[in-house]
């Protein structure tokens, strides 16, 4: 099985969850911060329009495919990989590993409401998780320096970010070398279960992005 797949000229990792978790173990022992992000179709579409997003994706230490449509579009039909992606197995194993290793997490979001939703989900589902701190960009009036100081003062091992693209990539590009943590993990927007109405909206959005991705792939392969 290919460990790297090409989507619109961007190389994305295609590790099994077991292989990816071996990478995570190394990251937790590193002296520099390693970056992980969940990649979805919307991000791939944006990467074709925004150079910062594209560059950031290309420089990730681990790009986790977040939607099965990306695998299928790249010609990957492994039932194991599709199942792992649908069930978000990497995220679940990552959480278990940091709890087992007694690692502390910091939660970063764009708004206070989003940060509270993330914390409510994590603490409710994984009661042993240790949240060292949290911050919403809007609280700091988009002052990145203040956000960085807030993160570093918490002395967390892992930063969970749910900043939307391209804000996430802009923040990471500008501040990666200033952050004092072992791992930056950018989560996609579907990290938590949704209501029925929200799920319907999500499915509709994914269908739109799927059609756009297929159209771009057809044009890319033709060129």
**Dihedral (CA of 208, 211, 213, 216) sign:** negative
DSSP 106: E
**Stretch 130-154: mean pLDDT:** 96
Containing structural domain, residue 15: 4-222
Does 208 have pLDDT greater than 50? no
Per-residue DSSP letters for 50-68?
Answer: -HHHHHHHHT-SEEEE--H
Task: Give the rounded percent of residues in the chain with a pLDDT score beyond 70.
Answer: 84
pTM as predicted: 0.87
- Convert the pLDDT of each residue in 91-137 to its tens digit: 999 999 999 999 999 999 999 999 999 999 999 999 999 999 999 99
**Stretch 70-89: mean pLDDT:** 93
In the chain, at which residue ranges do the beta strands (DSSP E only) sit? 4-7, 10-13, 34-39, 62-65, 104-109, 130-136, 158-161, 183-186
DSSP 163: P
* Predicted local distance difference test score (pLDDT) of residue 8: 74
**Stretch 172-198: mean pLDDT:** 78
The total of structural domains in the chain comes to 1
């Amino acid at each position: 099985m290919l460990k790297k797949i090409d989507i619109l000229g961007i190389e994305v990792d295609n590790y099994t969850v077991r292989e990816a978790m071996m990478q995570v173990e190394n990251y937790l022992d590193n002296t520099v911060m390693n970056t992980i992000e969940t990649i979805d179709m919307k991000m791939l579409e944006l990467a074709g329009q925004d150079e910062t997003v594209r560059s950031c994706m290309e420089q990730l230490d681990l790009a986790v495919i977040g939607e099965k449509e990306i695998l299928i579009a790249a010609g990957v039909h492994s039932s194991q990989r599709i199942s792992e992606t649908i069930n978000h197995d990497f995220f679940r194993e990552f959480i278990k590993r940091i709890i087992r290793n007694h690692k502390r997490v910091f939660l970063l979001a764009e708004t206070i409401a989003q940060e509270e939703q993330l914390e409510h989900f994590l603490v409710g589902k994984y009661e042993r998780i240790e949240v060292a701190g949290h911050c919403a960009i809007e609280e700091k009036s988009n002052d990145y320096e203040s956000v960085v100081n807030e993160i570093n003062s918490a002395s967390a091992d892992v930063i969970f970010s749910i900043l939307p693209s391209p804000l996430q990539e802009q923040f990471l590009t500008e501040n990666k070398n200033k952050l004092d943590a072992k791992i930056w993990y950018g989560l996609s927007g579907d990290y938590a279960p949704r209501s029925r109405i929200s799920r319907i909206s999500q499915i509709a959005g994914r269908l739109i992005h799927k059609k756009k991705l297929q159209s771009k792939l057809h044009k890319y392969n033709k060129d």
